Structures are given as C-alpha cells and as structure tokens.
Amino acid sequence: MDFTTSCEDTKWWMFILPTLLEIPRSCDANLLLLFIFILFLGYGLLNWACSAGGPAWKNDRHRMGRVPIPGPNGLPFFGSLFSLSSGLAHRTLARMSLSHAASQLMAFSLGSTPVVVTNDTHIAREILTSPHFASRPIKESAKQLMFSRAIGFAPDGSHWRMLRRIASTHLFAPKRVLAHQGVCRLECAAMLSAIGEEQSLKGFVQLRKHLQAASLNSIMEIVFGKRYNTTKHDNEAKELNELVREGFELLGAFNWSDHLPWLKYFYDPFCIQARCAALVPRVKKLVKEIIKEHRSEEDQYKVKDNLDFVDILLSLEGEEKLDEDDMVAVLWEMIFRGTDTTALLTEWTMAELILNPNVQSKLHCELQNIVQNNSCGLITDADVAKSPYLEAVVKETLRLHPPGPLLSWARLSTADVPLSNGMVIPTNTTAMVNMWAITHNPRIWEDPFVFRPERFLESAGGINVDVRGSDLRLAPFGAGRRVCPGKNLGLASVSLWVANLVHSFEWIENGARLVDLSEELKLSCEMKKPLSSMAIPRAKGFFLD
Ligand code: HEM
C-alpha cells in the first residue's frame, strides 16, 4: 500500500470538515472550541496514521531515502513517550527494534521529537563519525544547569572546539593522566582503609559510598586542586556532595516537557525548572569561591609544577580566555562527568567478581605474581599495565554493563544525512546508538549474557578489542569527534581501584543481601540495589595505617 498517496488523498477532508459539521455563523465560543479541537485531533490522527515512526515523522520524513526507515507509530501526539519515559529504555528499544524488524535503524517519536536508534555497528559508526552529527540535542535541565556552555552540550563550532582542545591538552593528555594517578592512588589508599574499618565494625561493606567518595575526591583534586574529607563533617564537602547528587537527579530525570513543549506551562511533576533555578546559584557560589581562592594565589600558578584545571583555565590568554561563567560551567561539568561513571563501573565490576569467584581468584593470582617484589602494599599504575587479565575483566564489565547503554548523550543531525543502507536521516533528528543492544547481540558476541573475560584474552583464543571508539562492537565511550575525552582517565582509575580492591580483600557474597544485578537507568545505568558484600582482608593491617 502506498502511504504517500493515501495520505495526500485524505487531507482534503480537513477542508470540508466545517461544512460537514454545519457550523452556524452565530456559533458560540464553546462550539468553536469544539470545532478547533476536532480539527486538531483529526490533523494529529492523520499525521500519526500515515507516518511510520509516529507523529514527529509527519510529511513522510522517514521516506527521504531510497529505503524508508521503519518504526512504531506509537500514540497520536505522544508517539512512544509512554513506553520510554520510565524503566530501562535500552532494553525497551532493543525489543521494539526486534518487533519492527528495524535493527539497522528505527524511527520513533518522543512527543514532537523525531528520534532514530541503531543497533548496528556500521550504521552506528556512520552516525557517530559524521560531521553532521557533531552536535547534541539539549534538555531543558541541561540548558538551565549551564551545560550548553560546557563541552558536553556546546553545539559543534569554534567554542566547543576550543574547550575540547584546552581539556585534551591540559586535563586528558596521557602525560596529564599519568600525573593524576598519584591523586587516584592516594584516594585509593584512603578508600581501602575505610573499607577495612567498615568490615571490622559491621561484618560487611556497602561499597558504593566508598567509591563515590573516592571518585569525587580524585576529580576534585585534579580539577580544583582541593582534597575533601567527605566522611568527616566538612561543610564545603557536604555542600558539594549535595550539589552533585541534585544535579545528577535533575539531568537524569525524564522531563516530559522536553518533548511536549506546551506542557511546561501546565505540568512539571518533578519541579525540574524550580529545582534547577535553585541549584545554579549554589553551584556558582561554590565554584566562584574556589576560582577566587586560586586568583588570590595567582602568581603561584606560574611556578607550580602540578597545576590543577582551575590554574590552567586562569592562565589562558587571548581568544582562549574564558569569562567567569564559562569557567564555572566547564569546571562543574568535569566534576559531574568524572564522578559518576568511574564509581558505578567499579561497582559493576566488583559485583561480577563476587558472582564469579573463579574469575576473582584468577585475577588475584595474576596480581600477586606481578607485585611479588612490591613492598608498598598498594598496586601501582605500572603494575596495572602488566595485567592483561585485569584489562579483560574491565572490558567484559563494560560489555555487559555499559555505563551509558544509549551512550548517555544523544546526537543531533544538522543536515539530511544519507546512510550507506539507502536510508536518509533528516535534519534536526535526534540519533541514538543502542550500545547495550550491540554488546548483547548473539551474532557479535557468543553467549552475550555470560561474564567471561577470557573472550578478550588473545592467549586464551579471545579477541583484542579497542574500547576507546575505534571498534564499534564495544564502544562504551562513544566514537568520532565527540567521543568521551575522559576515557583514559576513567579506565585508569577503574583499573587501579579494582586491582587494589581485589589485591587487598577477598570479596564474598553477603548471605543476608545477595548480589542483585538489576539495573536502574538514570543519567548512567547503575546497580538498582547497591552492592553489599563481605571484604575479608588478605593480609592483616597494611591498609589500616
Ligand atoms: C567509565 C568512565 C566513562 C564512561 C563509560 C564515559 C562515557 C561517555 C560517553 C558514552 C560519552 C558520549 C560520547 C559520544 O557522544 O560519542 C561521554 C562524553 C563525555 N565524557 Fe565521558 N565517560 C567516562 C568518564 C569520563 C570522565 C572521567 C570524564 C571527565 C572527567 C568524562 C567527560 C566527558 C565529557 C566532557 C563528555 C562530552 C564530550 C563532548 O561532547 O565533546 N567522561 N562519556
């Protein structure tokens, strides 16, 4: 059936509708309103009925290429909003793609937002590396929380390129990541000590809060040059913790009015606008205070050898010089992005190691062999680099539990983009890559739901996959020019922490609270039930100094 013709053929009804309804000239306001409503409804129903992909794909936008993009119609006006506003969107989308035979590309509507999603490595590469997908759609909360001025949401252009260059050179370059490892090691030692204490006091450990404290402290030291004691009563640390948590909640919340713009005048169930408006002045106050402290030591950053990111931003000259609000946005984003992902990836890894004690013992053995002659007790970055099994364990966790199953932040097309499969993604379309569906595809990964690090060990017949964006079978950090700039820092921190956690303790399932791998999708995908486990010290005392 040709939908185009049927659509055009039916539209003439809208023009004779008033005659059919025989509206008298003197109709009262109520009748007029009813008439407008019927017209609106009729128009919505027509658009919905005629477009694969739902109401946002009206005017046959899904048919712009040689091959039309398949997808569900969803509901009139709302499209697939109800299916995707809660729960695990990556799993729902994977199911929807399957039922519409749309694994290469599926079109759907989130209210008035046209969206495509792919589960295919080739199409994913085309989207992620296309210069016409180098911008992102921005949520209202992200805009209000100043993220449009920072790297993650800044539109493709000279400002974004400059920010990225500054961050890549001064924060994420391999030399800088190596320099940051001293900080991560310090935080790691403090974390091990706190874990040992909790185990001896309670007989079990709730790991998440230790990981969150370690990652927040590390990133604070790298970015602000400040070390907080989040476990003690430090008011600034408490305030910072609250700001980060509130920000996560606001950015992670599904905001209906992002997709139904008219709704913001009537309905804001999570009070997102009001909460953002209350959060921004608190963030500005805290970050500006830190900038002020750095300014008062201005001549020092010219002679300090280990500069933090505030020092770097303050030292910029000429066209690179940022105004204070831009600096606040960039610094705030780094704290934000650097805290959550590393902590939750470490938690997932430890959960898998507890459920797979044979993998944990094998990893422990390898680490033991590496650090035989190491007297300091802690595993160092140099040791980590010698452990292929550790690398395989982290990769396997990234495959089974990618922290951003839909690559966290989507992309936006800035032109009509023809794909190699004959489909065309029209301009102004939100594009997502379902990395979770790719990493669980049985045609790509044997036994995709089984935790088996050996699949990444060449010595055991496995494959060597680069997770940094060049191989789309496993690209948890995205790919292309907007690939995660913090990937090396993230991987280095997670590897160091996992190595030390396993080297210092034997992790055993807590009989009273079994490990539950249920997911919860917020800004990132985390364990729904925080991990609780027994951590039995392997050697007495060294981490309690
Ligand atoms: C395990 C750790 C991490 C994971 C899994 C992760 C994942 C991601 C993903 C999937 C993206 C989107 C990429 C794309 O669109 O192609 C991203 C972007 C980004 N990430 Fe990460 N990330 C991690 C750690 C970090 C860290 C430690 C930082 C900074 C301290 C960071 C900063 C950023 C920034 C600034 C962007 C936006 C880049 C842009 O739009 O140009 N990430 N990350």
Strand partners, 506: 536
Ligand 1 atom nearest to CA at 475: 10
User: Count of domains in the chain?
Assistant: 1
Strands 113-118 and 430-433, bridge-based pairing:
parallel
* Residue 22 maps to a domain: no
The CA 395 to ligand 1 mean position distance, Å, reads 16
Q: Is 410 a domain residue?
A: yes
Which pTM was predicted? 0.89
Residue ranges at the known binding site for heme: 484
Whether the CB of 137 sits within 6 Å of ligand 1: no
SS3 at position 445: coil
Parts of the chain with a pLDDT under 50: 1-18, 20, 23, 542-545
> 120 lies in a domain?
no
- Cβ atoms of 363 and 502 within 8 Å: the answer is yes
Q: How many CB atoms lie within 10 A of CB 267?
A: 10
Angle formed at CA 530 by CA 526 and CA 532, multiple of 5 degrees: 140
Would the CB of 53 count as within 6 Å of ligand 1? Answer: no
Q: What burial class does residue 450 get, using C-beta atoms within 10 Å of its C-beta: 0-12 exposed, 13-18 middle, 19+ buried? A: exposed
Around 277, how many Cα atoms within 13 Å sit in the side-chain half-sphere? Answer: 4
338 lines ligand 1 (CB under 6 A): yes
**pLDDT confidence of residue 540:** 58
Residue 499 near residue 389, CB atoms below 8 Å: no
Find the DSSP H helices in 51-120: 81-84, 89-99
User: What count of other Cβ atoms lies within 10 Å of the Cβ of residue 34?
Assistant: 14
Going from the Cα of 166 to the center of ligand 1, the distance in angstroms, rounded, reads 16
Q: Domain of 525: which CATH number?
A: 1.10.630.10
**Which residue reads 């010290």 in tokens?**
537
**∠ CA 184-531-229, rounded to 5°:** 40
Residue 507: inside a domain = yes
CA end-to-end span of the chain? 76
- The whole-number pLDDT of residue 392 equals 98
* Contact 329 CB / ligand 1 (< 6 Å): no
- 265: Cβ–Cβ under 8 A, 6 or more apart, which residues? none
Predicted local confidence at residue 15, as pLDDT: 46
- How does pLDDT run across 200-226, given as a tens digit for each residue? 999 999 999 999 988 888 888 888 887
Sign of torsion over alpha carbons 452, 458, 462, 466 = positive
Give the list of residues 6+ apart from residue 512 with CB closer than 8 angstroms, or none: 204, 532
Angstrom distance (rounded) from CA 6 to CA 457: 56
Do 382 and 496 contact (CB within 8 A), yes or no?
no
CB-CB neighbours of 374 under 10 Å: 14
Task: Tell me the C-alpha distance between 33 and 198, whole Å.
Answer: 66
Q: Could you tell me the distance, in angstroms and rounded to a whole number, from the CA of residue 197 to the centre of ligand 1?
A: 33
| pLDDT for position 33 | 82
The answer to whether the CB of 75 is under 6 A from ligand 1 is no
The residue among 339, 358, 390, 356 whose CA lies nearest residue 526 is 339
CA atoms within 13 A on the CB side of 484: 23
Residue 303's pLDDT is what? 54
In a domain, 131, yes or no: no
DSSP 473: T
Can you give the pLDDT at residue 295? 84
Q: Look at residue 33 and tell me if it is in a domain.
A: no
Phi, psi of 526 (to 5 degrees): -115, 170
**Per residue, what are the HEC states of 171-192?**
CCCHHHHHHHHHHHHHHHHHHH
Tell me what pLDDT residue 5 has: 37
C-alpha 477 – ligand 1 centre gap (Å):
6
Tokens 């979770």, residue located: 436
Q: How is 295-328 classified by DSSP, letter by letter?
A: HHTGGGGGT-SS--HHHHHHH--GGGPPPHHHHH
Q: Does 116 reside within a domain?
A: no
C-alpha to C-alpha distance for 488 and 173, rounded to whole angstroms: 9
User: Which residue range(s) make up the domain with 342?
Assistant: 140-537
CA of 367 to the centre of ligand 1 (A): 28
Q: What are the residues whose beta carbons fall under 8 Å from the beta carbon of 83, sequence distance 6 or more? A: 74, 92, 96
Q: Best substitution site from 168, 344, 484 to test ligand 1's pocket, by max atoms within 8 Å of Cβ?
A: 484
Q: Could you tell me if 301 and 315 are in contact, meaning their C-beta atoms sit under 8 angstroms apart?
A: yes
Measure the CA–CA gap between 117 and 53, rounded to whole angstroms: 11
Tokens of 333: 């984003």
204 vs 533: CA distance, rounded Å:
5
Secondary structure letter of residue 455 according to DSSP: G
Q: Are 258 and 268 in contact (CB under 8 A)?
A: no
pLDDT, position 48: 60
Q: Please give the Cα distance from 18 to 424 (Å, whole number).
A: 38
For ligand 1, atom 33, the nearest C-alpha belongs to 484
Query: What values do phi and psi take at 540, rounded to 5?
Result: -75, 135
- Ramachandran quadrant class, 384 (left: phi over 0; alpha: psi -120 to 50; beta: rest): alpha
As a whole number of angstroms, the distance between CA 31 and CA 419 comes to 49
Q: Name the phi and psi angles at 508, rounded to 5.
A: -125, 145
Distance of alpha carbon 235 from alpha carbon 212, whole angstroms: 17
Mark 146-162 as b/e (b = at least 16 C-beta within 10 Å).
bbbbbbbbbebeeebeb
CA-to-CA distance for 420 and 423, rounded, in angstroms?
7
> Which residue CA neighbors atom 11 of ligand 1 most closely?
484
Across the strands, what pairs with 135?
412
Does 119 reside within a domain?
Answer: no
